[in-house]
Amino acid sequence: MSILVHQLDPVENGLPIEVYAFTTATDWEEYEKIQDNIFDHIIAIAPQFDLEIYQSPSGSDIIELLASNKK
């Protein structure tokens, strides 16, 4: 089925993209496997284009990191 990739306006951390993928799967587990596969491929191929994947940490990520450093 169709897969569309849309670039959003650049932000201070890079160029966000949206990925739209359509499937005929209606079973949730099968859908999750397809979604995982798509993102595995994106993450694997990004370095071939000199791209880096970035996800801004949330507040809870920072709190967890600080707590683990105190141990």
37 neighbors 25 (Cβ within 8 angstroms): no
Q: What is the mean pLDDT of the chain?
A: 88
6 neighbors 18 (Cβ within 8 angstroms): yes
Query: What average pLDDT does range 26-47 have in this prediction?
Result: 93
Amino acid at 17: I
Q: Confirm whether pTM is higher than 0.75.
A: no
Per-residue model confidence (pLDDT) at position 54: 85
Per-residue model confidence (pLDDT) at position 44: 96
Q: Which tokens in the block code for residue 33? A: 């496997």
pLDDT digits (tens, 9 = 90+) for 5-24: 999 999 988 889 999 988 99
